[in-house]
Amino acid sequence: MKQIRLHGRGGQGVVTAAELIAIAAFLDGREAQAFPSFGVERTGAPIEAFARISDTPIRTREHVYQPDVIIVQDATLLDAVDIAHGAHKNTLVIINTAKPPAAIKLPVPEKNIFTVDATKIALEIIGKNLMNTVILGAFAKATGLVSLAALKKAVMEKFSDKGPEITDKNLKAIEQAFKL
């Protein structure tokens, strides 16, 4: 079983990102679970959400304490929250920032840190700072836990009521992040 913990701030779509991971993994034919740690999001407040991917049915409901992947949607959280808590030697950390991994101060090996300027990609392609889908492109690339095709399909399903224009822009932004 792989466990994923997402960190972001209220309003950044942290919970949606966790749900997209679970939907994509399910579309890849795997068992999956996603849930929020805080159900009421206050804009700007630190939020955690969790996802699990497994080849057998998932029963546990505890929060993720030993993450295999940590996703950080907002780099300002690096100074505010113990992002790396419970990380092991193979935990991968994916951070939305313009900085290179060498410039990130976290108690994890530098080779396990991946950075992507998801905000920049979001502003350029989507036209708004909505990078929760974008960073998942980098997640798919860095971890291989979900396929790009399944991730795109998950976005199409989840965003079906947002119309084709917004969906297409999100898909393009995900592809851009996947290329990096």
Partner 1 sequence: MPKQILEGSRAVALTIKNIKPAVVSAYPITPQTHIVEDLAKFKSDGEADYEYVRAESEFAAASIVAGASAAGARVYTATSSQGLLLMAEVVYNIAGLRLPVVMTCANRGVSAPITIWNDHQDAMAVRDAGWIMLFAENHQEAVAQHVLAYKLAEQTHLPAMVNMDGFVLTHSYEPVVIPDEKLVRRFLGETRPAQDNLLDPAAPKTSGAFAAPTHYLEIRQALNDDLEKCLALLPGLAADYAKLFNAPRAAAPAAGDNGLLEYYGPRAAKTVIAVMGSLAGTAKDAVDEYNRGSAGKKNPAAVLKIKCYRPFPRAALLKALGRIRCLAVVEKAVSLGSAGPLALDIMSAWPSQRPLIIADFIVGLGGRDVTQEKLINIIKQAPKNNRQVKFIS
The CA distance from 165 to 145, in Å, is: 27
User: Closest CB to partner 1 among 87 and 121?
Assistant: 87
Largest Cα–Cα distance of the chain, in whole Å?
A: 42
User: Closest CB to partner 1 among 23 and 108?
Assistant: 23
Residue 159 CB, nearest approach to partner 1 (Å): 15
Amino acid at the residue 139:
F
Q: Which residues here bind partner 1, judged by CB under 8 A?
A: 15, 19, 22-23, 26-27, 31-36, 39-40, 57-63, 65
Residue 124 CB, nearest approach to partner 1 (Å): 30
Residue 70 CB, nearest approach to partner 1 (Å): 18
The CA distance from 142 to 177, in Å, is: 10
User: Closest CB to partner 1 among 161 and 165?
Assistant: 161
Other beta carbons less than 10 A from residue 173's beta carbon: 25
117: Cβ contacts below 8 Å, ≥ 6 apart: 96, 97, 98
User: Closest CB to partner 1 among 64 and 125?
Assistant: 64
Residue 134 CB, nearest approach to partner 1 (Å): 20
67: Cβ contacts below 8 Å, ≥ 6 apart: 3, 4, 5, 86, 87, 91
User: Closest CB to partner 1 among 18 and 134?
Assistant: 18
Amino acid at the residue 76:
T
User: Closest CB to partner 1 among 22 and 177?
Assistant: 22
Residue 27 CB, nearest approach to partner 1 (Å): 8
State how far the alpha carbon of 159 is from the alpha carbons of 35, 57, 82, 136, in Å: 18, 26, 32, 15
Q: Assess contact for 177 and 118: CB atoms under 8 A.
A: yes
Residue 143 CB, nearest approach to partner 1 (Å): 19
Q: Assess contact for 28 and 53: CB atoms under 8 A.
A: no
